[in-house]
Amino acid sequence: MQLGAADYVVKGFELEELRQRVANLLKFSTLEKENDALRRRMATEGQFGQMIGRSAEMRRAFEIADRVARTDSTVLILGESGTGKDLLAQEIHARSPRAGKAYVAVNCAALPETLIESELFGYERGAFTGAAQQKKGKFELASGGTIFLDEIGDMNPVTQAKVLRVLGNRTIERLGGTQTIPVDVRVISATHRNLPAEIRAGKFREDLFYRLRVVTIDLPPLRAHKEDIALLTEAFLQLHGARLGRAARLKRDAVTTIEKYDWPGNVRELKNALERSMVLSRGDEIGAEDLPSEVVHGESISHKHCGEEQDHGIGERDFREAKRKFEVAYLTRQLAEHRWNVSRTAATIGLHRQSLQEKLRELGIRRPGREPLEEE
C-alpha cells in the first residue's frame, strides 16, 4: 500500500471478492475524475476553496493555482496584505498529491531574527541557553507535505541562505547538530513586498528569488477588481449571519459606500467591516451609518500605495509642467497597483492599450529596474 497500491486481497481470496474490489476501485476512480473536473470548473467560474471572485484577474489566479496544485512545483504568491495569500496556499495543498500529509505555515515577519532559524530548522539539546531538549523544526514537521513561508520578503539574509540550501539539496541541519537530515517538502511562499526592488536594495537574495518563483501567482488588490465586491459582500453576510444566528442585508446607501471605498486592507478589511456592521446594526438592515468611519468618509489611500510623498505638480507655476507631473504620478501609481501590466492598467483607467503605451513613452515612464512592461 505504501508503494502506491489502492487495495489488496489476502491469499486464498474468492473470485467474487476480487470482482467486487475491482468494481469499487473503478467507481472510486470515476468519482475522483468527476471531482477533479468539478474543481477545475469551479476555478474557471470563480471559486477556489474558500476564495471567490469572478473578475478576470481572480479567475486567472484560480486557474493557475488549480493547474499547479497537481504538481510538486515551488509556488510564489504575490499580493498585498489581506488579499488571501494564505487561503490560496492552503487550497493548493488541499488539491495536491500531498493533501493527506502535513501543512505547516510559518509567518516569517512575526518571528524575530533570533528565533526564526530554530523555528525553521529545529535544534539539538544544548544548542543554546534554554535548549533543554531536542526540537524538530518546521521543515522536518512538514516533511512529506507542504510548508508555507508567509511574508518571506521579511526574512533576514542569513536565513535566506539556509532556505536556499534546503531548496537545492532537500536537507537540513538542526542548530547545534552535525547530522544532515533529508526533508521531502513542497515549498509555497508569499510576500506583499516587491522582491525585485528588495534585490536591488540588497535585502533579498536573487538566487533564492528564482528558486521560489518557479510558478508565480498574482493576487490583485480589491480596488483592482471591484466588480467582485458584490459577490464577496453576499458571501460574507451569509457567513457572519450563520455564525451570529441572524440575517442582514445592505441598504442602498451602504452598497454605494462600500463600492466607492478603496479597501486598502483588501478582502480581509471588507470581511471584518461587514462583521462589525452586523454586530452593531439594530435591525436586519445595514445602512451606511453602521459601516466603519473610514469606509463612510472614503479616506484617500493614494499616498499609501506610492511608497513616498509626492508633489504631483501642485506646486508648479507652469501649467504644462504641473500637468506632466500629475500624469507621471497618476500613471505610475496605476501601473504599480496592476504590477506594471499595461493591458490591465489601460482597461482600468479607460484607455486603449496603444494609447497608454504612447503616453508612457511620451512621459518617459519605465518600470523600476528598466524591466520591460508586461503586455498581457
Q: Tell me: do 139 and 206 sit in the same domain.
A: yes
Q: Tell me: do 109 and 88 sit in the same domain.
A: yes
In angstroms, rounded to a whole number, what is the distance separating the alpha carbons of residues 329 and 317?
17
Cα–Cα distances in Å, from 203 out to 59, 152, 159, 165, 193? 32, 11, 12, 18, 11
Structure-block grid coordinates of residue 287: 445602512
In angstroms, the first-to-last Cα distance of the chain is: 46
Q: Is residue 313 part of a domain?
A: no
Among residues 53, 33, 29, 32, the alpha carbon closest in space to that of 43 is found at 53
Among residues 119, 124, 146, 121, the alpha carbon closest in space to that of 134 is found at 124
Q: Is residue 305 part of a domain?
A: no
Q: Is residue 31 part of a domain?
A: no
Instruction: Please enumerate in sequence order all residues whose Cβ is within 8 A of that of 38, keeping only pairs 6 or more positions apart, or say none.
Output: none
Domain boundary among 218, 233, 267: 218
Q: Tell me: do 214 and 229 sit in the same domain.
A: no
Q: Is residue 136 part of a domain?
A: yes
Using left for φ > 0, alpha for ψ between -120 and 50, and beta otherwise, residue 150 falls in beta
In angstroms, rounded to a whole number, what is the distance separating the alpha carbons of residues 48 and 65?
9
Q: Is residue 14 part of a domain?
A: no
Q: Tell me: do 186 and 160 sit in the same domain.
A: yes
What's the pLDDT score for residue 260?
A: 92
CATH number of residue 91's parent domain: 3.40.50.300
Q: Tell me: do 102 and 75 sit in the same domain.
A: yes
DSSP letter at 175 equals: B
Q: Is residue 52 part of a domain?
A: no
Looking at the DSSP bridge assignments, the partners of residue 171 are 182
Structure-block grid coordinates of residue 262: 478603496
Q: Tell me: do 179 and 237 sit in the same domain.
A: no
In angstroms, rounded to a whole number, what is the distance separating the alpha carbons of residues 53 and 44?
10
What's the pLDDT score for residue 4?
A: 44
- Cβ atoms of 246 and 211 within 8 Å: the answer is no
Q: Is residue 12 part of a domain?
A: no
Structure-block grid coordinates of residue 96: 495536491
- Cβ atoms of 46 and 157 within 8 Å: the answer is no
What's the pLDDT score for residue 341?
A: 84
Q: Tell me: do 112 and 186 sit in the same domain.
A: yes
Domain boundary among 156, 184, 218: 218
Q: Tell me: do 198 and 271 sit in the same domain.
A: no
Q: Tell me: do 135 and 211 sit in the same domain.
A: yes
In angstroms, rounded to a whole number, what is the distance separating the alpha carbons of residues 363 and 366?
9
Q: Tell me: do 229 and 356 sit in the same domain.
A: no
In angstroms, rounded to a whole number, what is the distance separating the alpha carbons of residues 105 and 114?
19
* Count of domains for the chain: 3
Q: Tell me: do 108 and 193 sit in the same domain.
A: yes
Helices and strands of the chain, counted as H and E runs: 16, 11
- Cβ atoms of 197 and 368 within 8 Å: the answer is yes
CATH number of residue 283's parent domain: 1.10.8.60
pLDDT tens, N- to C-terminus, the chain (376 residues): 444 455 555 555 566 666 776 666 555 555 454 445 444 444 445 789 999 999 999 999 999 999 999 999 999 999 999 999 999 999 999 999 999 999 999 999 999 888 999 999 999 998 888 888 999 999 999 999 999 999 999 999 999 999 999 999 999 999 999 899 999 999 999 999 999 999 999 999 999 999 999 999 999 999 999 999 999 999 999 999 999 998 999 999 999 999 999 999 999 999 999 999 999 888 899 999 999 988 988 764 444 444 444 455 666 667 777 888 888 888 988 888 777 888 888 888 888 888 898 889 888 887 765 444 544 4
Domain boundary among 172, 201, 218: 218
In angstroms, rounded to a whole number, what is the distance separating the alpha carbons of residues 193 and 371?
17
Q: Tell me: do 235 and 101 sit in the same domain.
A: no
At residue 355, what is the residue type?
S
Structural domain including 258 reads 225-297
Burial class (CB in 10 A: 0-12, 13-18, 19+), 18: exposed
Q: Is residue 48 part of a domain?
A: no
pTM, to two decimals: 0.70
